[in-house]
Structure 1
């Protein structure tokens, strides 16, 4: 069941582009603040429905809280900064090194080679999907953006890896969401003008983002990392941009390309390589 939660989180992240189109006119950090505020409210909705005390404090230590804030806020901050200084294609490709890094981080000495090979195969699929066979134009002028994008990959893979080692309750994601929302609000007030009027589509988009890819998915991911098949989840994380593309195709916002099919083959092949004979490897490692 925990692995299923992780797959659902990946599916929700795949919906980010589609839902993001509903809110693209909202200033970036203002949107991030609103989404994480919704994520924080999910904690109280869950506690009301399960008849738990509303204000039970988080179980994270100070160090764990700092790591959680750096992971959640740092990733989004670096991603938005990367888009300011480098093109979307290159940024996306660098950011999607995180499943490869996560697979290597969680692998033991016996399965690390499989994780590296499988991760590269999955990453090739993402390269083909994002570039659509048109190639990549790396420029030294975009080096700052590349640095921010690489920071994204390192931050999210490290956050995901470290959360597997924490014994905190999943409710703590709600408290981390509050901290991230406050930091996003500060960033918004410093970097951006404030939008006060929202259309009904924008309001629905904010709520869905907070319940899904920019909020609710983090609760699912936390639970999956602690109790699910981490190696499989790292491999399947490459499906995120693929799912995003498929959703946009079905919503008729972009045209279908055979690169989607090719990317799917590479991602599934990479997952198979990363998890090949995993049971035997784990048993021998014991």
Structure 2
């Protein structure tokens, strides 16, 4: 069940692009502030419904505060800057190295080789989808943007690996969201012009982003990482751009391409190699040991 909940987070991230289109008029860090404010409100809404004390503080260590806050805020901060200093396709593709890095990090010793192979196939599938099957050229002019995108991959894979193993309550994401919202507001005031006279669609999309992919999904991802199959979730994370492309098509924003079919096959084969093959090998070894 926990793995399925983690999968719901991945699906939620897949609809981020659709909601992002309708919220495109909102400056990035202002949008981030709104989203994480909504995310924080989810904690208090849950406590209100369950009639729990509203303001009981979390028992997070200093390390947990630093890693979790820098993970959630640092990823988005570096990603927004990466899009400023590098073409979106290349930046997005480099950032999508995170499922590969996470898969390797959470794999056992006997799974690691298969995690690399399966993750590489998933990344190739993701690359075909992001680029539309066309070749891309990395230009040294955008080195800063590429570096920031790679930092995104390191941050999110590191955050996910850390949260998978740390002892913290899932609802602590709400308190971390408050810290991220404050940092986002500070970045907005320092780097952007404030614009609060938003359209209904922009406000609705921003709130839905906070309830889903840029807020609520982090609670679900925490459940999946702590109690589910981390290796499988890492493999399935490559499906995010596939889900995104399908969602954009369903909302009439873009068209489907054959690259989606190729990407789906590669991602699923990669997931099988990363998860099913090691399990079958281990099962065979156990059987042989039992018969010896």
TM-score category (smaller protein): over 0.9
Alignment map for 1:205-244 (pairs within 5 Å): 205-244=205-244
The answer on whether the counterparts of 1:74 and 1:155 sit within 8 Å (CA) in structure 2 is yes
TM-score (norm 2): 0.95
| Separation in structure 2 between the aligned mates of residue 2 and residue 196 of structure 1, nearest angstrom | 38
**May I ask how many residue pairs the two structures share in their alignment?**
285
Q: CA deviation at 1:59?
A: 2.0
* Corresponding position: 1:182 with 2:176: no
Alignment map for 1:108-257 (pairs within 5 Å): 108-257=108-257
Q: Secondary structure at the match of 2:165?
A: coil
Aligned to 1:96: 96
- 1:102-128: CA deviation from partner (whole Å, max 9, x where unpaired): 000001111100000000000010111
Q: CA deviation at 1:256?
A: 1.4
**Structure 1 spans left out of the alignment, 5+ residues:** none
Aligned to 1:17: 17
| Separation in structure 1 between the aligned mates of residue 187 and residue 256 of structure 2, nearest angstrom | 37
The answer on whether the counterparts of 1:93 and 1:126 sit within 8 Å (CA) in structure 2 is yes
- 1:160-202: CA deviation from partner (whole Å, max 9, x where unpaired): 0000111100010000000000000000000000002011111
Q: Secondary structure at the match of 1:55?
A: coil
**Structure 2 spans left out of the alignment, 5+ residues:** 287-292
The answer on whether the counterparts of 1:110 and 1:281 sit within 8 Å (CA) in structure 2 is no
| Separation in structure 2 between the aligned mates of residue 71 and residue 42 of structure 1, nearest angstrom | 20
The answer on whether the counterparts of 2:163 and 2:225 sit within 8 Å (CA) in structure 1 is yes
Runs of 4+ in 1 over 2 A off after TM superposition: 276-285
Q: Secondary structure at the match of 2:45?
A: helix
Relative to structure 2, which stretch is displaced further, 141-150 or 125-134?
A: 125-134
Q: CA deviation at 1:133?
A: 1.5
Q: CA deviation at 1:282?
A: 6.5
Aligned to 2:43: 43
Q: Could you say if the C-alpha distance between residues 278 and 57 of structure 1 is closer, same or farther in structure 2, counting changes exceeding 3 Å?
A: farther
Alignment map for 1:44-63 (pairs within 5 Å): 44-63=44-63
